[in-house]
């Protein structure tokens, strides 16, 4: 079990304080690299979704165009599914910083193609989906290497605080990225993709500034043996397995955010600027919760808190689907983002603290596979349902499904439901 991040009775000691974390030079550069990269990914994602929807609407109705947007998630997830296990094993055998740099090279190449296609006007839906597939291939190797590298850069006593601040890097960039992406898309998609390209280069520079060892202790055994060991670890820890599978199925069913281009253009009629606001809202809610948890970690009834968060996520998705007001939609999206952050925080704290360093790549890739499946397949599921029920019906269907999953998992995983302190 995982210890609480800090005691109820006294402030954090010097060894676990924010000041102590900021003295970890390599971690600070890693944090900035992560923040900048996520900002670029978010801007790129906004522009890609908007451009595909715009191209699709030239020849298709709303339902078919929404389905085309959902294909982004599917083609991005396929390489993650196919490469997840070898990617995790690679992160546990080779220099993790070097793996990330190689992945950044692939991402820079893909966004350069997107920039050129948008600027010179030769973008097509097949081309954009092909680039999304290549980008997903890079991310398949990037995720386990990045997740496993972070804990190597701080003392174990600082790890819980480092995890909280890594979440903040993700969430704050996820707020600014969609908002900035919406503004840039209103100018032109080429501006959005070009900005993402610059941000990836900055992320590479920050990563190159890390001086410490970033190579794991290589474990004996064949590649297949190591992959089986990682899978076995996740399966044997039922609380870990229950938490990540809960997130998987709840977000798959509740992934209505994939339809935001449709809601912005044809339901709420708020244009690209409103789309950027909607896209940033879940991250805004998540960041507020993350800030709170960084100073006030969950100290009891962690399982109940996790299930409550997922239930709120489902209810907020229903409200979003029914809303005809931009600001009610923003509030619903912020609420579901904050609720999801509770689940993310509990899961990440559990997995990182109980996993030995030599297995972090393999365990991280299993977790990333579940997370990727929930996000990418959730987008695809929403598009498929929208094809038959329309975007509003798809959002309501997903929210109800997330509530059903919450109740089902509470019965299937009683140990997770009864989990008290993260110890």
HEC string for 284-346: HHHHHHHHHHHHCCCCCCHHHHHHHHHHHHHHHHHHHHHCCCHHHHHHHHHHHHHHHHHHHHH
Predicted pLDDT at 88? 77
Mean pLDDT for all residues in the chain: 80
User: Are 328 and 319 within 8 A, CB to CB?
Assistant: yes
Rounded mean pLDDT, 1-23: 54
Residue 11 maps to a domain? no
Predicted pLDDT at 68? 85
Residue 183 maps to a domain? yes
Mark 43-57 as b/e (b = at least 16 C-beta within 10 Å).
Answer: bbbbbbbbbbbbbbb
User: Are 142 and 100 within 8 A, CB to CB?
Assistant: yes
pLDDT digits (tens, 9 = 90+) for 156-214: 777 767 777 877 787 778 777 877 888 888 888 899 999 999 999 999 999 999 988 88
Q: Which two tokens stand for residue 153?
A: 């850069």
Cβ-based burial of 101 (10 A; exposed 0-12, middle 13-18, buried ≥19) = middle
CATH number for the domain that contains residue 268: 1.20.1250.20
Rounded mean pLDDT, 228-256: 70
Predicted pLDDT at 12? 45
Question: What does residue 81 show for φ and ψ, rounded to 5 degrees?
Answer: -65, -45
d(CA 132, CA 114): 10
Predicted pLDDT at 302? 76
Residue 7 maps to a domain? no
Residue 10 maps to a domain? no
User: Are 259 and 394 within 8 A, CB to CB?
Assistant: yes
User: Are 266 and 62 within 8 A, CB to CB?
Assistant: yes
**Dihedral through CA 71, CA 73, CA 79, CA 84, nearest 10?**
-150
Residue 398 maps to a domain? yes
Q: Which two tokens stand for residue 416?
A: 């997770």
Mark 289-298 as b/e (b = at least 16 C-beta within 10 Å).
Answer: bbbebbeebb
183 vs 256 pLDDT, higher one: 183
Residue 3 maps to a domain? no
User: Are 199 and 115 within 8 A, CB to CB?
Assistant: no
Q: How many domains does the chain have?
A: 1
Instruction: Write the CB contacts of 392 (distance below 8 Å, at least 6 apart in sequence).
Output: 267, 321, 322
- Is the CA virtual torsion 121, 126, 128, 130 positive or negative? negative
Least confident of 23-32, 87-96, 134-143, 187-196: 87-96
**Local confidence band at 390 (pLDDT 50, 70, 90 cut-offs):** confident
Residue 371 maps to a domain? yes
**Local confidence band at 234 (pLDDT 50, 70, 90 cut-offs):** low
**Local confidence band at 231 (pLDDT 50, 70, 90 cut-offs):** low
Predicted pLDDT at 295? 67
Rounded mean pLDDT, 279-288: 82
Rounded mean pLDDT, 294-322: 83
Whole-model pTM?
0.70
d(CA 83, CA 99): 14
Three-class SS state of 196: helix
Range of the structural domain that residue 47 is part of: 16-418
Residue 321 maps to a domain? yes
């Amino acid at each position: 079990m995982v210890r609480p991040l800090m005691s109820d009775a006294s402030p954090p000691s010097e060894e676990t304080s924010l000041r102590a974390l900021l003295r970890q030079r390599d971690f600070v550069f890693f944090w900035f690299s992560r923040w900048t990269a996520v900002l670029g990914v978010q801007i790129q994602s906004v522009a890609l979704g908007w451009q595909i929807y715009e191209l699709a609407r030239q020849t298709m109705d709303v339902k078919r165009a929404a389905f085309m947007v959902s294909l982004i998630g599917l083609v991005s997830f396929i390489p993650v599914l196919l490469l997840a296990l070898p990617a995790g094993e690679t992160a546990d055998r080779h220099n993790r910083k070097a793996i990330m740099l190689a992945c950044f090279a692939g991402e820079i190449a893909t966004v350069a193609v997107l920039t050129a296609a948008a600027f010179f006007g030769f973008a097509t839906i097949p081309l954009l989906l092909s680039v999304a597939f290549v980008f997903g291939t890079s991310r398949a190797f990037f995720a386990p290497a990045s997740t496993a590298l972070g804990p190597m850069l701080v003392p174990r006593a600082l790890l819980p605080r480092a995890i909280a601040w890594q979440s903040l890097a993700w969430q704050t960039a996820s707020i600014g990225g969609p908002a900035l992406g919406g503004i840039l898309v209103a100018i032109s998609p080429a501006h959005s993709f070009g900005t993402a390209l610059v941000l990836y280069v900055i992320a590479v520079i920050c990563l190159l500034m890390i001086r410490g060892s970033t190579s794991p202790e290589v474990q004996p055994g064949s590649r297949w043996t190591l992959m089986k060991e990682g899978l076995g670890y996740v399966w044997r820890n039922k609380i870990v397995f229950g938490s990540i599978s809960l997130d998987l199925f709840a977000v798959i069913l509740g992934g209505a955010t994939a339809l935001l281009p449709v809601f912005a253009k044809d339901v709420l009629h708020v244009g690209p600027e409103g789309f950027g606001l909607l896209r940033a809202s879940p991250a805004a809610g998540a960041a507020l919760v993350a800030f709170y948890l960084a100073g006030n970690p969950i100290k009891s009834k962690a399982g109940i808190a996790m299930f409550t968060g997922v239930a709120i996520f489902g209810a907020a998705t229903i409200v979003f689907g029914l809303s005809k007001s931009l600001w009610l939609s923003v509030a619903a999206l912020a609420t579901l983002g904050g609720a999801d952050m509770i689940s993310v925080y509990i899961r990440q704290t559990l997995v990182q603290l109980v996993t030995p360093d030599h297995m972090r790549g393999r365990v991280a890739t299993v977790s990333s596979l579940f997370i990727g499946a929930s996000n990418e397949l959730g987008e695809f599921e929403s598009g498929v349902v929208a094809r038959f029920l329309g975007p509003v019906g798809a959002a309501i269907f997903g929210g109800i499904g997330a509530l059903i999953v919450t109740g089902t998992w509470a019965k299937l995983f009683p140990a997770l439901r009864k989990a008290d302190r993260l110890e």
